């Protein structure tokens, strides 16, 4: 695998998130876990929200006293409301939300997919972002504002074969972020989406036997000749959550190694 130029190892971690409380859905593994680790490293308190309570608890324990775990189903309104109430009870504030929860990869055209499969993708990615934001925004407003980051995909910009539900959901996330940015700018809330390319996470192992095979297959489609690393996505998410991005809202950041330019 082509090296990531050792940039992550050399780049100093700041403390620009000190004092902030960040909730991350789908935090137990992959990109979500990398974002949680990065936020704690930059001084934040982190809420690891995931449908797997054991995995979320394990991550929170590994991160130490700056983290707490919350079990939640992002597709269920009451579950998401309880998760935000747990944040309020523990910290009394919420400064950032990252919606990273994603459904299992489902192949299919509109002819192939069942309605149940379609709804699962839309419910986890898009309705999940709606519900997480619905209950997080009032708590953010009470604390003076905040930042929301919706994890989309390069496939929200360009399409690929047999991924119609995934492409539609991720494109929806990009425009949802824009619409919420318009609605809540006056509340001091910035809303952006972040669109990764292929990233070396356990999710890829649903399709390839190992990450080496995944990189050999997917890497050439990216201008940089490789798939991304979770820490590279986490670094950009931390930027969007921080005051360094204080003039950034209503936009989508492609962190895709140049995939969408082809």
Say how far apart CA 79 and CA 5 lie, in whole Å.
42
Q: Which helix (H) or strand (E) holds 186?
A: none
> Is residue 259 among the annotated active site residues?
no
| Closest among 102, 100, 103 to 148, alpha carbons compared | 100
C-beta separation of 166 from 198 below 8 A: no
User: What are the backbone angles phi and psi of residue 117, rounded to the nearest 5°?
Assistant: -65, -45
At residue 133, the 3 state secondary structure works out as helix
Tokens of 205: 């192992």
Catalytic residue from among 166, 198, 199, 235: 166
CA 27 – CA 174 distance, rounded (Å): 20
Residue 24, Cα to own-chain centre: how many angstroms? 7
Cα–Cα distance between 227 and 199 in angstroms, integer?
5
Q: Write out the catalytic residue numbers.
A: 166
């Amino acid at each position: 695998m082509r090296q990531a130029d050792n940039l992550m190892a050399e780049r100093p971690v700041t403390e620009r998130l000190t004092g902030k409380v960040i909730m991350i859905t789908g935090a137990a593994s992959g990109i979500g876990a990398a974002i949680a680790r990065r936020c704690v490293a930059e001084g934040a308190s982190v809420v690891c929200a995931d449908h797997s309570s054991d995995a979320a608890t394990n991550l929170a324990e590994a991160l130490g006293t700056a983290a707490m775990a919350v079990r939640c189903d992002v597709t269920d309104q009451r579950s998401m409301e309880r998760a935000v109430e747990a944040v309020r009870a523990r910290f009394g504030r919420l400064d950032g939300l990252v919606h990273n929860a994603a459904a299992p990869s489902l192949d299919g055209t509109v002819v192939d997919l069942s309605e149940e499969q379609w709804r699962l993708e839309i419910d986890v990615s898009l309705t999940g972002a709606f519900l997480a934001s619905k209950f997080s925004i009032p708590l953010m407003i009470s604390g003076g504002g905040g930042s929301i980051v919706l994890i989309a995909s390069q496939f929200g910009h360009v399409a690929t074969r047999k991924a119609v539900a995934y492409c539609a959901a991720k494109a929806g996330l990009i425009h949802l972020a824009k619409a919420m940015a318009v609605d809540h700018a006056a509340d001091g809330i910035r809303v952006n989406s972040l669109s990764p390319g292929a990233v070396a996470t356990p999710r890829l192992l649903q399709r390839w036997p190992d990450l080496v095979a995944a990189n050999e297959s997917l890497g050439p489609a990216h201008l940089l000749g490789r798939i991304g690393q979770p820490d590279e996505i986490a670094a950009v998410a931390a930027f969007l959550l921080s005051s360094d991005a204080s003039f950034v809202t209503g936009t989508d950041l492609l962190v895709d190694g140049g995939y969408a330019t082809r």
